């Protein structure tokens, strides 16, 4: 296993269409995170899962966004009725859990979304 894998790496879609991104975390990592990054800004937290449970969602995650991790392994992030403001890089990350915050979070290479 070489790291967090994201697919597709690039997606161009027309406004109003739905898009779905997939993330495969590092094996045995039970935590999975989604972030969004727009040009010139640092990544912003969207949501995270521990196994299949979605434990936290940011206010950035509007009702057009939905994330799932049905079997506690891979995850999908779906954006419905895309808007031009959704154009960004969507980052997935994973980690182990532990008794402290010393478990490193590893990121994938991101999925670029362009809404035209």
Partner 1 sequence: DAKTTQPPSMDCAEGRAANLPCNHSTISGNEYVYWYRQIHSQGPQYIIHGLKNNETNEMASLIITEDRKSSTLILPHATLRDTAVYYCIVRGGGTSYGKLTFGQGTILTVHP
Q: List residues binding partner 1 (CB under 8 A).
A: 4, 31, 33, 41-45, 48, 50, 55-56, 89, 91, 93, 95, 97, 100-102, 104-110, 112
Least distance to partner 1, CB of residue 3, Å: 9
Least distance to partner 1, CB of residue 34, Å: 10
Query: Exposed, middle or buried: residue 102 (CB in 10 Å: 0-12, 13-18, 19+)?
Result: exposed
Q: Which residues contact 44 (CB under 8 A, 6 or more apart)?
A: 35, 36, 37, 58, 60
Phi, psi of 47 (to 5 degrees): -165, 165
Q: Which is nearer to partner 1, 2 or 101 (CB)?
A: 101
Least distance to partner 1, CB of residue 49, Å: 10
């Amino acid at each position: 296993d070489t790291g967090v894998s994201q697919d597709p790496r690039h997606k161009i879609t027309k406004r109003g269409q739905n898009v779905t991104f997939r993330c495969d975390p590092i094996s045995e990592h039970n935590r999975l995170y989604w972030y969004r990054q727009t040009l010139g800004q640092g990544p912003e937290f969207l949501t995270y899962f521990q196994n299949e449970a979605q434990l936290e969602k940011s206010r950035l995650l509007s009702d057009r966004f939905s994330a799932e991790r049905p079997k506690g392994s891979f995850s999908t992030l779906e954006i419905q009725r895309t808007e031009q403001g959704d154009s960004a890089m969507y980052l997935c990350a994973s980690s182990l859990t532990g008794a402290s915050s010393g478990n490193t979070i590893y990121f994938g290479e991101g999925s670029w979304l362009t809404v035209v």
